[in-house]
Structure 1
Amino acid sequence: MYYFIGIKGSGMASLARILYDLGYEVAGSDIDKYIFLEDGLRERNIPIYSFNKDNIKDGMDVIVGNAFDRSNEEVAAAEDNPNVTIHHYYDFLAKLMDDHISIGIA
């Protein structure tokens, strides 16, 4: 499972939807306040949780958003769990794009 810490962020929500559409199990957490970016997640029935260290489970691949560090209880729980693989958003996105052709237009 891919678990996103900060799943309602613009890049994180998009990446979560892409992974879901590729067939992966996806869930994540964020603030409780409604953010329009969660609509696409909810349309896909991707679970969105409130931040809680107990959300982090053995075997997860945790993707940490750019706005978060160890002061977030879930980041700390993931870093302290040797059975969790941690990815930072920008590193995970770069690795994912290694398998695809990317074109940028400005």
Structure 2
Amino acid sequence: MHIHILGICGTFMGGLAVIARELGYEVSGSDQNVYPPMSTQLQEQGIQLMEGYRAENLDGNPDLVVIGNALSRGNPEVEAVLNKGLN
């Protein structure tokens, strides 16, 4: 199962990503700003990071998308989730 997390560099979402990875899930994520120490921690876990929010970040067709509470309608990646009917 592939989980994609929007806002992955936040403390909670980053922690969630690490837990999911440790449970054996494929994890990717995007955030407006990707920088250490969170980016380093996530990359060391084998989590693919994408800087910026774009519809193309969802081209891997994730099975589940988790959207951080700081994001809302109008965000290009949020809109792509809705348009594609992703869970």
**How big is the shift at 1:39?**
2.2
User: What is the aligned counterpart of 1:79 among 68, 73, 82?
Assistant: 82
TM-score normalized by the length of structure 1: 0.72
In the superposition, the TM-score normalised over structure 2's length comes to 0.86
Q: Which has the higher contact order (CA 8 A, sep 6+)?
A: 2
Which consecutive unaligned segments of at least 5 residues does structure 1 have?
A: 86-106
Larger Rg belongs to: 1
Q: Which of 54, 61, 65 is residue 64 of structure 2 equivalent to?
A: 61
CA contact 1:8–1:35 (8 Å) conserved in 2: no
Question: Offset at 1:60?
Answer: 2.8
The 5 A counterparts of 1:1-106 are: 1-50=2-51, 51-57=53-59, 58-82=61-85, 84-85=86-87
Q: Which moved more, 1:12-21 or 1:64-73?
A: 64-73
3-state secondary structure, aligned to 2:69: coil
% identity of equivalent residues: 35
Question: 1 CA distance for matches of 2:20 and 2:34?
Answer: 24
What is the Cα-based RMSD across aligned positions, in Å? 1.4
